[in-house]
Amino acid sequence: MQKLIGSVTSRLVISVPYLWLLIFFLVPFLIVLKISLSQVATAIPPYTPVLDITAGIRSLFNGISQFTWENYVWLVEDPLYYKAYISSLVIAAVSTVLTLIIGYPIAYGMARAPASIRPTLLMLVILPFWTSFLIRVYAWIGILKPEGLLNQFLMWANVIDTPLNILNTHTAIFIGIVYSYLPFLVLPIYSALEKMDYSLVEAAEDLGCPPLMAFWKITFPLSMPGVIAGCFLVFIPATGEFVIPDLLGGSSTLMIGKTLWSEFFSNRDWPVSSAVAVVLLLLLVVPIVLFQRSEAKAQESEK
């Protein structure tokens, strides 16, 4: 009897979240794929064909035969789209490297800090993450504007004579991404460095290895799992980022998240925005799978 209850419970524990994710995560992607093969129409919903399973198999096949590659051809032919994809990937890659350069010393400083203040430092890194993404990006507008606080400060300090034009440039996007995603990179690196056995570095230094060399040969390789996880956590969402390029990048910056948004909300072209999403997903599927593997492996090794 107890075995029976056990197996029923275990089925429920697995199937409830499983079904939820199937319906609200996997099935929506199939719908996106389907609509990316449809044509735009002035109707509700604004695409055709509308597949209706209740209308019978014949009409279903009839609908499928109307599928078209048109939207994908459109994506290839219009340079706006592939330029947006390339510039998104480049901006995300550059920002990831910048985040790593700024984030690694912070994680290292935290891991080397006295054990008593480490929880406080950890909390200080996590705290900004709890405040809204939108608010943190918005805060930078007031700082980077031509008449903003940064320019006021630099002119007061006599560093510059004329205001710098930072807002609505790539630099502003880099600042926005580094700032918003910094905790995502610092935390995994910190947890890798904190677990590290520091006596290895001491041994190397005792044997005459210069500190920088010891860092490069021992500390950095040992922190690699954290570095990889952190870089994925920055790179993947940054590629499809919408809020940061929209608020800080101005109208001239091309990023695919922005393109998708305006295709959907301004042009109301659902099939093309679905095609944009499918291609973006294809570009990101390799990094996403690698990220999922590295997370699953990290969980396994902790058992």
Distances (CA, A) of 128 to 122, 184, 273: 11, 11, 32
Q: Is 128 in the site for other proteins (CB under 8 A)?
A: yes
Q: Is 106 in the site for other proteins (CB under 8 A)?
A: yes
Q: Is 270 in the site for other proteins (CB under 8 A)?
A: yes
CB 24 to other proteins: min, Å: 4
Q: Give, as ranges, the residues between 82 and 101 that touch other proteins (CB under 8 A).
A: none
CB 50 to other proteins: min, Å: 9
Q: How many amino acids of this chain bind other proteins (CB under 8 A)?
A: 94
CB 21 to other proteins: min, Å: 4
Q: Residue 18 CA to chain centroid, in angstroms?
A: 24
Q: Is 66 in the site for other proteins (CB under 8 A)?
A: no
Q: Give, as ranges, the residues between 148 and 207 that touch other proteins (CB under 8 A).
A: 148-149, 152, 179, 182-183, 186
CB 161 to other proteins: min, Å: 19
Distances (CA, A) of 153 to 123, 147, 149, 157, 225: 30, 10, 6, 6, 40
In the complex with other proteins, the residue whose CB is nearer, 170 or 246, is: 246
Q: Give, as ranges, the residues between 13 and 42 that touch other proteins (CB under 8 A).
A: 13-14, 16-18, 20-29, 31-32, 35
Q: Is 303 in the site for other proteins (CB under 8 A)?
A: yes
Q: At what angle do helices 170-195 and 118-130 cross, to 10 degrees?
A: 150
In the complex with other proteins, the residue whose CB is nearer, 94 or 283, is: 283
| Helices and strands in the chain: count of H runs, count of E runs | 16, 2
Residue from 222, 242, 250, 254 that binds other proteins (CB under 8 A)? 242
Q: Which residues of 32-64 are buried (b: 16+ CB within 10 A; e: fewer)?
A: bebbbbbebeeeeeebebebeeeeeeeeeeebe
Q: Is 243 in the site for other proteins (CB under 8 A)?
A: yes
CB 61 to other proteins: min, Å: 18
Helix/strand/coil for 39: strand
Half-sphere exposure of 126 (CA within 13 A, CB side): 9
Helix/strand/coil for 67: coil
Residue from 40, 84, 91, 110 that binds other proteins (CB under 8 A)? 110
Euclidean distance between CA atoms 193 and 189, whole angstroms: 6
Q: Is 240 in the site for other proteins (CB under 8 A)?
A: yes
Q: Which stretch binds other proteins (CB under 8 A): 60-68, 75-83, 220-228, 292-300?
A: 292-300
Whether 181 and 234 have beta carbons less than 8 Å apart is answered as yes
CB 163 to other proteins: min, Å: 11
Q: Is 220 in the site for other proteins (CB under 8 A)?
A: no
Peptide bond into 245 cis (omega under 30): no
